[in-house]
Amino acid sequence: MDFSKLLEGNTWGILMKGLWVTLEVAVIAIILSFIIGIVLGILRYSKLPVLSQLATLYIEIVRNIPLLVVIFFAFNTLLDKLDSLVMIVIFGMTVFTSALIAEIVRSGLNSVPIGQIEAARAQGMSYIQTLIHIILPQALKRMIPPLVGQFVTLIKDTSLAAAITLPELLHEAKLIYSNPSYVNATIPILLLVAVIYFVVNYSLSLLSRQLEKKLAG
């Protein structure tokens, strides 16, 4: 094991570039997943005929398939339609994560007591009005911690895209230790990569806890 290699050459610079790609992909994917996930979650909750069932089908199928399979699927069948490797990964992650967020949204919606909804309806509010003014504001508040959790998961899962050579953090690390003079530094480099992921994700988790406290208070 050779820890000195970590300080040599551009190891740190290369890893930081990789981290940047990781964060870029994760941020775009979480935003898209959030938007699509909210729509899917509301559709499933809504009990609108057909649409509700379709949303349920989508959610149940997608969240029960490994993300790696979704990514390979996108790579092998959509590369000629989407423009780049980054797009493929964002697409795969959005398809997958939106189903998980839809479930977060649904359980957030379900957590609003039925009494409140009945009261709102009794006062003459329409279904949509009740949804927008009564249910969603409360549900969104409860959804924040699991959403941050999902974002952390996304950052971790971006490492799966190393398998299709997306130049994210883990992939760049692998390219470093594939090199002649760095083979002895494999374990130190993997450790460093783990620490980088940890620092980013743990900070996010702490942030989420702070938010949670603020919202509860």
Give the footprint of other proteins on this chain (CB under 8 A): 1, 9-11, 13-14, 32, 35-36, 38-39, 42, 60-61, 63-69, 72-73, 75-85, 91, 132, 136, 152, 156-160, 162-165, 167, 170, 174-180, 182-183, 186-187, 190-191, 193-194, 197-198, 201-202, 205
> 66 or 215, CB closer to other proteins?
66
Residue 144 tokens, joined: 């924040």
Question: Minimum distance from CB of 30 to other proteins (Å)?
Answer: 14
CB 70 within 8 A of CB 107: no
Cα dist from 30 to 16, 19, 20, 142, whole Å: 21, 16, 15, 17
Report the residue number, 120 or 160, with the smaller CB distance to other proteins: 160
CB of 49 to other proteins, least distance (A): 18
Query: Which one, 83 or 214, has the nearer CB to other proteins?
Result: 83
Cβ closer to other proteins: 45 or 75?
75
Please identify, using beta-carbon distances, which residue of 147 and 176 lies nearer to other proteins.
Answer: 176
CB of 175 to other proteins, least distance (A): 5
Q: How far is the CB of 158 from other proteins (least distance, A)?
A: 8
By beta-carbon proximity to other proteins, the closer residue of 79 and 211 is 79
Question: Which tokens belong to 214?
Answer: 């603020």
Closest approach of other proteins to the CB of residue 215, in Å: 19
Distance of closest approach, residue 35 Cβ to other proteins, in angstroms: 4
